[in-house]
Structure 1
Amino acid sequence: MTEQSSTEHIPVAGSAAGSPSGPRRRVVQVTPNYPPLLGGVERVVHVLATRLAARNDVSVVTTDNQAGSAPRRAVEAGGVKVRRHRSVTVAHTSLAPGMFGSLLRIRPGTVIHLHCSTAVVPEQVWLSARLRGLRYLLHFHMEVDASGPLGRLLPFYKTHLFGRVVRGAAGIIVLTESQRDFLAERYGADPAKVYVVPNGVAEEFFLPPRVASPEPVGEVGPDPLRLLFVGRLDTQKNVARLLDALALVTEPVRLRLVGDGDLGADLKARATRLGLDDRVEFVGRKHGEDLVKEYADADLFVLPSDREGMALVVLEAMAAGVPVLATAVPGNIETVEGAGRLAEPTPSALAAAIDGLARDRSELAALAAAGSARVADSRWDRVVSAIEDVYRQVGF
């Protein structure tokens, strides 16, 4: 779910970073999707589960959506126990009836850490907790948007179902201050129960500052500005908007699209129709050192989304010293404002911003420095300490 705000650094509010976390807890991370499906929320849950397992007994209850050959029961890295329930996907929502049985078997005293980014799973946690007299913590990632023919039911769902999930939580984790305000206004959340804990960045993405060099100029003008997008090729990310923008760009640029998704084939066909085959490269998923290299080789990171929570890829780009250009939509505004460039979510506005930065590249170094400063204190170890501090404050 969405909405957010920024300060000079992205703070880990209320954290006692690096402090002891107290007694070992039982923690169940409940999430609609989990790796090997790789989206921002899934990566966040995986990092939290793995790192929390160093000091806690951690399990994950999820679905088998896009899990491939991953086993339905497994003990994974760090000793995390993962239970993937058989599911079907309807309107981009994973439906797994068997998950409710797992939720009903959670032992009293367990931290039930619910990750919210789609419908249905939150309501199962709310109902199972009421039936068992248990408490749960809600982690609000992104507002659910309408999808497919059932989207017309969304206003009813938000008012009469998800609102109860929000108000019934023992505590709520949000990514920014504006999400706190949004939950209070939209769902009646008690602000005193809401804790601001931004997303983090893995150590490998923090690269040394780039050495400024003269703008490379060949016989026919400057070398192309190297643009990078990392993320799912789906509706929310709206890569079609970026391709349409690129067709309007007049300066020399090249775009690498890192990721895959349901719209991959359509987007490749769109790039061909727009005459962009010599300017756009689809390179598929990248992980680990390969992904770090993509950031290291880029001149400008571009995110054309319709909405975000707090995009991990933006934080990673900032940590790697890559200047960021993003659409001025909820989530991006709060993460990027003052530390990158924002453009209205239209192809023409994105094209104008890209052209301006490609024509006069003197601003890129300042944007990179501002982004690096924004995420300087955003390592995952601080975030995990903040999460454990929330557990303590909520009374788990």
Structure 2
Amino acid sequence: MTEQSSPEHIPPVGSVAGSASGKRRRVVQVTPNYPPLLGGLEQVVQILATRLAARNDVSVVTTDNGADGAPRQAVEEGGVQVRRHRALTVAHTPLAPGMFGSLLRIRRGTVVHLHCAAAVVPEQVWLTARLRGLRYILHFHMEVDASGPLGRLLPFYKKHLFGRVVRSAAGVIVLTESQRDFLAERYGADRAKIYVVPNGVADEYFLPPRAPSVEPAVGSGPDPLRLLFVGRLGTQKNVARLLDAMAKVTEPVRLRLVGDGDLGPALREQATRLGLDDRVEFAGRKHGEDLIKEYADAELFVLPSDREGMALVVLEAMAAGLPVLATAVPGNIETVEGAGLLVPPTPQDLAAAIDNLARDRSALAALAATGSARVIGSRWDHVVSAIEDVYEQVGF
């Protein structure tokens, strides 16, 4: 579906005009997880909540999954009211029955902004909407994949439960045109109600152009190529694949893994088992200036994921002038194609690409330039304006 045939379509970030009315709204962001839990979806929700709060009354209803002692109720940055409900996590899905009570208390006329990347929470919002006569916006970040022994129920869930949630939404926000097509074809969503709003990048990640790399002195070998991964050390990111690739790389390279997660101990054991302790460094979780410095110091960003929505870390790396190498999987393809290097999701292909770039580093500058051009208009203020335009067009 082209923009011309669907006037409700939101153009890519950078060409959105801004909020149509400027009126102040009540907005409730509903999300399965929220910082301090590390992850792209969690960061997106926090950024949107904080920035929307400059012109709206914003609250967040979420679970305490990964909250690390954060208060159950708090007023956080920007005046955002956050309510974390006690959750039990089953098959990577937080189950928080108490959320239903908070949802039932939402006043009519409130923008209920539902963020989807896990099961159960979307159905709670759908049921609340049915009982209370509420309307909601569904923000689709990523397709739910099977996890654990309950994964066999996923086809039934998608067909009979999640599909109903999608079709009942007053409007659906997706990150890419391919997601728009996917929701229309898989779940029967009305294309006229689907709005494409990509993720954004904070201003501080846009760094000055990098100086060209210096050729090594005659007779001396090149310094190791500095690789960087940023993200949660969990199943979806498949850092194990990257470690297997590192074991096959023959050129001098070093890898820094920035982030933490459930698989951290197992990945450290794998690195030791593969003899990578002198080539791989686990740097832990980084924020703010420390994270920006990681992007500035690296020479190649590598994302070995099984799937993505629209990875914030890829956009941040591109803004920082860092070339990107990623697996050719859903989400990465739409974000990286034409602006970075995509390879099949195997250790062998990742290793071959790393070796090629380590041998011929002249290609890095071109990759960095195309990546920087891709995100030049993708700042969060444009994204928030686009989100508010969706609220306006849906009738909030």
TM-score over 0.5 (shorter chain)? yes
* CA deviation vs aligned residue, 1:349-390 (integer Å, no higher than 9, x gap): 000000000000111000000000000000000000000000
Equivalent residues of 1:142, 1:308 under 8 A apart: yes
* CA deviation vs aligned residue, 1:64-104 (integer Å, no higher than 9, x gap): 00111211111111110000001110000000000001101
Equivalent residues of 1:21, 1:385 under 8 A apart: no
Instruction: Supply the AA of the counterpart residue of 2:239.
Output: V
- Where in structure 2 are the equivalents of 1:6-155 lying within 5 Å? 11-12=12-13, 15-17=16-18, 21-155=21-155
TM (normalized to structure 1)? 0.96
Q: Give the 3-state SS of the residue equivalent to 1:354 in structure 2.
A: helix
Farther off after superposition, 207-216 or 376-385: 207-216
Aligned partners of 1:16, 1:333: CA distance in 2, in Å? 27
Aligned partners of 1:63, 1:379: CA distance in 2, in Å? 28
TM (normalized to structure 2)? 0.96
- Where in structure 2 are the equivalents of 1:1-396 lying within 5 Å? 11-12=12-13, 15-17=16-18, 21-217=21-217, 219-396=219-396
Equivalent residues of 2:88, 2:96 under 8 A apart: yes
Instruction: Supply the AA of the counterpart residue of 1:11.
Output: P
Equivalent residues of 1:116, 1:141 under 8 A apart: yes
Measured after TM superposition, the shift of residue 219 of structure 1 is 4.8
Q: Give the 3-state SS of the residue equivalent to 2:61 in structure 1.
A: strand
Aligned partners of 1:216, 1:40: CA distance in 2, in Å? 37
**Number of positions where the alignment pairs a residue of Structure 1 with one of Structure 2:** 386
Aligned partners of 2:301, 2:128: CA distance in 1, in Å? 42
Instruction: Supply the AA of the counterpart residue of 1:361.
Output: R
Q: Give the 3-state SS of the residue equivalent to 1:114 in structure 2.
A: strand
Measured after TM superposition, the shift of residue 213 of structure 1 is 3.5
* CA deviation vs aligned residue, 1:151-203 (integer Å, no higher than 9, x gap): 00000000000000000000000000000000001000000000000000011
CA pair 279-14 structure 1, distance change in 2 beyond 3 A: same
Aligned partners of 2:123, 2:252: CA distance in 1, in Å? 50
Instruction: Supply the AA of the counterpart residue of 1:134.
Output: L
Measured after TM superposition, the shift of residue 21 of structure 1 is 4.7
- Sequence identity percentage: 83
1 or 2 for the larger relative contact order (CA 8 Å, sep ≥6)?
1
Q: Give the 3-state SS of the residue equivalent to 1:221 in structure 2.
A: coil
Equivalent residues of 2:231, 2:237 under 8 A apart: yes
Farther off after superposition, 210-219 or 256-265: 210-219
Aligned partners of 2:28, 2:204: CA distance in 1, in Å? 27
Measured after TM superposition, the shift of residue 20 of structure 1 is 6.1
Instruction: Supply the AA of the counterpart residue of 2:394.
Output: V
Equivalent residues of 2:305, 2:326 under 8 A apart: yes
Aligned partners of 2:220, 2:134: CA distance in 1, in Å? 68
Equivalent residues of 2:14, 2:382 under 8 A apart: no
Equivalent residues of 1:13, 1:197 under 8 A apart: no
Equivalent residues of 1:25, 1:111 under 8 A apart: yes
Instruction: Supply the AA of the counterpart residue of 2:295.
Output: Y
Instruction: Supply the AA of the counterpart residue of 1:16.
Output: A
Equivalent residues of 1:14, 1:389 under 8 A apart: no
CA pair 206-390 structure 1, distance change in 2 beyond 3 A: same
Aligned partners of 1:14, 1:138: CA distance in 2, in Å? 22
Instruction: Supply the AA of the counterpart residue of 2:230.
Output: V
Aligned partners of 1:95, 1:14: CA distance in 2, in Å? 39
Aligned partners of 2:239, 2:68: CA distance in 1, in Å? 25
Measured after TM superposition, the shift of residue 215 of structure 1 is 2.5
Q: Give the 3-state SS of the residue equivalent to 2:282 in structure 1.
A: strand
Equivalent residues of 1:39, 1:231 under 8 A apart: yes
Aligned partners of 1:68, 1:367: CA distance in 2, in Å? 38
Instruction: Supply the AA of the counterpart residue of 2:382.
Output: R
Instruction: Supply the AA of the counterpart residue of 1:40.
Output: G
CA RMSD in angstroms, aligned pairs only: 1.2
Aligned partners of 1:110, 1:64: CA distance in 2, in Å? 23
Aligned partners of 1:384, 1:34: CA distance in 2, in Å? 18
Q: Give the 3-state SS of the residue equivalent to 1:204 in structure 2.
A: helix
Equivalent residues of 1:13, 1:195 under 8 A apart: no
